[in-house]
């Protein structure tokens, strides 16, 4: 029997305070959390579909009780725990090399202290990635990065954010959600080619082949709010194109994909928060079932371990941090 093509699913465990911080809401300083509601719900739906995935966690959460409990539960359920930075600032691309190293180290220490293995994967908040970051990840023994979103929608999302969110001191708004250089970045997994050779794998968050429009959970929810039929047709089309083009889908989810507005106070600005949590869970269940119908679905780390990634891209194509 011919094995089915691989796909991966990951969750960015962005907490309520992180969304408020990016939006410029000073209430983030109280570190409000929806992890006690979101994590059990995510684990339940993943378990129902028999999926073992990767969860990218934020260090500033993991050093707290609810974040450490979340990591313990995620690990006990057999999922991979990966690094999503310590402070979850989407302007990570402005960090100097030493500050980037500190972000990685502090989160690694928090993850291992919570009982999970040392992480081998990283995703930058807001799809932030620089040459310094890639080189540091390779030096620290990471197997992969998953910080790129190859789409033309990123610059549009940045323009919307900058128009609606209050300014934040030090915010690097010019590259938020990925700059224009990402529009034509590869959609397939590839290896960063550094001066030491080919090593670190880059696993992009998949966008629709050819059209390069997003297919991650939050975007699908926006389409579903407009028309469930349109959302189903859109995702089916994306999966067919992935099969035809030989693209292994890497589907990204967030806690907001299973939470209603009442469970995330202050996030009325975020698309899709008007939908009840139960409706979101049902929709996500359909998405995961559709993905599993065509692909063997694993976590991002397992995908990298099981894949033969031969494509390369020069790390010099990236800017260094500032």
N residues, the chain: 322
Superfamily (CATH) of domain 6-317: Glycoside hydrolase/deacetylase (3.20.20.370)
CA-to-CA dists, residue 61 to 42, 57, 105, 171, angstroms:
17, 8, 15, 21
CB 173 within 8 A of CB 162: yes
Give the integer Cα–Cα distance in Å for 271 and 265: 14
Q: What is the pLDDT of residue 31?
A: 97
Contacts of 35 (CB under 8 A, 6+ apart): 13, 15, 61, 66, 67, 69, 70, 255
Q: What is the pLDDT of residue 93?
A: 85
Q: How many CA atoms lie within 13 A of 7 on its CB side?
A: 26
Q: What is the pLDDT of residue 315?
A: 84
Q: What is the pLDDT of residue 197?
A: 57
pLDDT tens over the chain, length 322 residues: 678 999 999 999 999 999 999 888 999 999 999 999 999 999 999 999 999 999 999 999 999 999 999 999 999 999 999 999 999 998 888 899 999 999 999 999 999 999 999 999 999 998 888 999 999 999 999 999 999 999 887 555 554 445 555 555 445 445 555 555 567 789 999 999 875 656 899 999 999 999 999 999 999 999 999 999 999 999 999 999 999 999 999 999 999 999 999 999 999 989 899 999 999 999 999 999 999 999 999 999 999 999 989 899 888 777 665 4
For the chain, give every domain's residue range.
6-317
Q: What is the pLDDT of residue 157?
A: 55
Q: What is the pLDDT of residue 182?
A: 66
Structure pTM? Answer: 0.92
**Which of 266-275's residues contact partners 24+ apart within 8 Å by CB, and which partners?**
266/16, 266/20, 266/25, 266/27, 266/32, 267/16, 267/19, 267/20, 269/23, 269/164, 269/165, 270/19, 271/218, 271/221, 271/222, 271/225, 272/218, 272/221, 272/222, 272/225, 274/225, 275/221, 275/224, 275/225
CB 65 within 8 A of CB 101: no
- The tokens describing 249, both together, are 């889908």
Q: What is the pLDDT of residue 254?
A: 98
pLDDT, tens digit (0-9, with 9 covering 90-100), for 147-181: 999 988 755 555 444 555 555 544 544 555 555 55
DSSP 166-185: PP-TT--GGGTT--GGGTTS
């Amino acid at each position: 029997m011919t094995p089915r093509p691989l796909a991966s699913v990951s969750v960015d465990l962005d907490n309520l305070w992180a969304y408020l911080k990016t939006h410029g809401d000073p209430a983030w300083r109280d570190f409000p959390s929806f992890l006690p509601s979101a994590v059990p719900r995510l684990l339940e739906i993943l378990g129902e579909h028999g999926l073992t995935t990767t969860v990218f966690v934020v260090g500033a959460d993991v050093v707290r009780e609810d974040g450490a409990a979340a990591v313990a539960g995620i690990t006990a359920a057999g999922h991979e725990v990966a690094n999503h930075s310590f402070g979850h600032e989407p302007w990570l691309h402005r960090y100097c090399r030493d500050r980037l190293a500190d972000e990685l180290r502090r989160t690694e220490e928090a993850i291992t202290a919570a009982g999970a293995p040392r992480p081998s994967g990283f995703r930058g908040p807001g799809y932030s990635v620089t040459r310094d970051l890639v080189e540091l990840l390779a030096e620290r023994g990471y197997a992969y990065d998953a910080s790129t979103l190859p789409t033309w929608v990123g610059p549009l999302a940045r323009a919307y954010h900058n128009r609606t969110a209050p300014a934040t001191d030090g915010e690097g708004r010019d590259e938020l959600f990925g700059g224009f250089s990402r529009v034509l970045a590869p959609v397939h997994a590839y290896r960063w080619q550094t001066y030491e050779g080919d090593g670190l794998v880059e696993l992009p968050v998949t966008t629709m082949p050819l059209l390069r429009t997003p297919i991650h959970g939050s975007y699908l929810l926006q389409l579903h709010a407009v028309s469930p039929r349109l959302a189903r047709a859109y995702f089916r089309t994306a999966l067919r194109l992935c099969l035809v083009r030989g693209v292994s889908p890497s589907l990204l989810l967030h806690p907001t994909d299973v939470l209603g507005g009442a469970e995330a106070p202050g996030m009325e600005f975020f698309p899709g928060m008007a939908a009840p949590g139960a409706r979101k869970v049902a929709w996500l269940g359909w998405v995961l079932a559709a993905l599993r119908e065509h692909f063997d679905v694993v976590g991002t780390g397992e995908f990298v371990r099981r894949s033969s990634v031969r494509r390369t891209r020069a790390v010099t194509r990236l800017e260094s941090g500032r």
